[in-house]
């Protein structure tokens, strides 16, 4: 077992981490009809900024310095004995789904914070700086796609790529970001990742599994080996508004009827007996959206995922043709909004995670992630890995999302040891 582990592991506080999680969960918190405590904290909102201010207040209380880049990615820096070395970066996201849970994303930020605080309290010097990060807009709920902050940081897409994307109130991402940066103008500004600054030495993201395996199979730690691929499409079907009472069916150009034909055809394309493929239509808009005018426009999103890149490309590339062939009276415009290829992490970080888990007597399982994460976009820059902890029944993106305080503390202890390891390499 690692010599630093005992006092470092002891310095990680289960109670302090849980208390911080509950305090964060109250920001945008709500109870659903069954009494589950969920959170609705969209990116670049006052609630998001309130949560960030709370995190910064904790950080400054223990001597970390806060900075933010032009995408609003927030960094809390623990200085290394050699400040010139590329840092180890660790964190996740603070934004949530509209009916999200109190653990998705935010635990990874709080666990990173807890691990760094434990390093400092245990008096463990690190050669490299360690930076806790909160990425902007991982969820892609308010503004599609997700992972905008990490994609811009990694140079995957120019920072202005999404300026014209609007939310449900018609507010442009570029305007919401400009307002956000103005409201956080007192926070030190830093270059944008690898575009203007330096790449990390390594990146580690702690996250709840958002799946059932660790709990069902009795494991404490998930050693994440990679992340499946994701592709998001927006489909706009254009027909013609008409009077519901007087227009014969044969003369209609009904966008809703053609949308249903298109989704039925897509279900056939996406049928996969092995049930490995994931296909979701969950955001639908209709115009004019009244009960007695035939629908002129129907918009719907496609979220399509697969672990095999050949399938992800082939099925994804077939989507437009299948939609066009299914239409009877309308036209369709299909745009791709997100394209993350399947990721296999290099062994360095997963091996360090597994080594730390074993050194701490924890049961560790190697597994891929079904959810996408910011780690997917940091992976090409440096050795990258993730630490999963079990969550109850694998539920996520729902207010019933839950993880045990002890399970989260075990995750933070493994993270602390991995950071001590990587930051001294
Ligand atoms: O959708 C995802 O996979 C992530 O949880 N936002
Ligand atoms: Mn997440
Ligand atoms: Mn999520
Ligand atoms: Mn993530």
Task: Read off the pLDDT of residues 149-164 as tens digits, 9 standing for 90 and up.
Answer: 999 999 999 999 999 9
Residues near ligand 1 (Cβ within 6 A): 138-139, 146, 371-372
Task: Kindly state the helix (H) or strand (E) to which residue 8 belongs, with its residue range.
Answer: helix 5-11
Q: Pocket of ligand 1, candidates 96, 136, 139: which has the most ligand atoms within 8 Å of its Cβ, to mutate? A: 139
User: What are the tokens at 306?
Assistant: 């697969």
Q: Tell how far the Cα of 353 is from the centroid of ligand 3, in angstroms.
A: 22
Where are the domain boundaries for CATH 3.30.70.360 in the chain?
231-340
Average pLDDT rounded to a whole number, residues 367-375: 98
CATH fold of the domain at 6-228+342-422: Aminopeptidase (3.40.630)
pTM for the full predicted model:
0.97
From 397, 398, 401, mutation site for ligand 1 pocket: most ligand atoms within 8 A of C-beta: 397
Rg (CA), the chain: 23
d(CA 395, CA 415): 23
Pick the ligand that lies closest to the CA of residue 376: 4
Ligand 1, atom 3: closest residue by C-alpha = 371
- Comparing 73-87, 190-204, 213-227, which segment has the lowest mean pLDDT? 190-204
At residue 407, the pLDDT reads 98
From-to residues of CATH 3.40.630.10 in the chain: 6-228+342-422
Closest CA to 112 of 40, 194, 189, 205: 205
How many angstroms is it from 177 CA to the middle of ligand 3? 21
Structure tokens of 290?
């009244």
| Average pLDDT value over all residues in the chain | 97
Count of other CB atoms within 10 angstroms of residue 240: 16
Ligand 3 centroid to residue 231 C-alpha, Å = 15
Q: Assign domain 231-340 one CATH number from 2.120.10.30, 3.40.50.300, 1.10.3720.10, 3.30.70.360.
A: 3.30.70.360
């Amino acid at each position: 077992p690692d010599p630093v582990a005992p006092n470092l592991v002891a310095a990680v506080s289960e109670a302090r981490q849980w208390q911080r999680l509950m305090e964060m969960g109250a920001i945008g918190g709500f109870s659903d009809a069954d009494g589950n405590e969920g959170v609705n904290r969209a990116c670049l909102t006052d609630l998001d900024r309130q949560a960030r201010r709370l995190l910064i207040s904790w950080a400054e209380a223990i001597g970390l310095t806060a900075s933010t880049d032009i995408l609003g990615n927030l960094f809390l820096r623990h200085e290394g004995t050699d400040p010139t070395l590329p840092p180890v970066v660790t964190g996740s996201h603070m934004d949530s789904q509209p009916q999200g849970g109190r653990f998705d994303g935010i635990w990874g930020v709080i666990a990173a914070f807890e691990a760094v605080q434990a390093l400092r309290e245990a008096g463990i010097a690190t050669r490299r700086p360690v930076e806790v990060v909160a990425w902007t807009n991982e969820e892609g709920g308010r503004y599609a796609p997700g992972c905008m902050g990490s994609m811009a940081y990694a140079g995957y897409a120019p920072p202005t790529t999404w300026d014209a994307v609007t939310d449900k109130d018609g507010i442009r991402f570029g305007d919401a970001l400009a307002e956000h940066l103005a409201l956080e103008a007192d926070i030190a500004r830093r270059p944008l990742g690898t575009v203007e600054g330096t790449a990390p030495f390594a990146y580690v993201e702690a996250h709840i599994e958002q799946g059932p395996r660790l709990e069902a199979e009795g494991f404490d730690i998930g050693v994440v080996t990679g992340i499946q691929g994701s592709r998001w499409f927006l489909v706009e079907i254009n027909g013609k508004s008409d009077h519901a009472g007087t227009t014969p069916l044969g003369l209609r150009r009904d966008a809703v009827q053609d949308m249903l034909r298109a989704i039925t055809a897509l279900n056939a394309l996406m049928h996969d007996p092995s049930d490995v493929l994931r296909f979701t239509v969950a955001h639908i808009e209709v115009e004019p959206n009244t009960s007695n005018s035939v629908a002129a426009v129907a918009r719907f999103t496609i979220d399509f995922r697969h672990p095999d890149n050949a399938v992800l490309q082939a099925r994804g590339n077939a989507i437009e043709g299948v939609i066009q062939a299914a239409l009877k009276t309308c036209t369709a415009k299909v745009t791709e909004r997100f394209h993350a290829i399947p990721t296999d992490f290099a062994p360095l970080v997963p091996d360090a995670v597994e080594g730390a888990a074993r050194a701490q007597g924890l049961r560790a399982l190697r597994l891929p992630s079904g959810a996408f994460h910011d780690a997917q976009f940091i992976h090409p820059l440096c050795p990258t890995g993730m630490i999963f902890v079990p969550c109850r029944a694998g539920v996520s993106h729902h207010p019933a999302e839950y993880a045990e305080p002890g399970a989260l503390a075990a995750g933070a202890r493994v993270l602390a040891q991995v950071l001590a390891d990587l930051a001294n390499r």
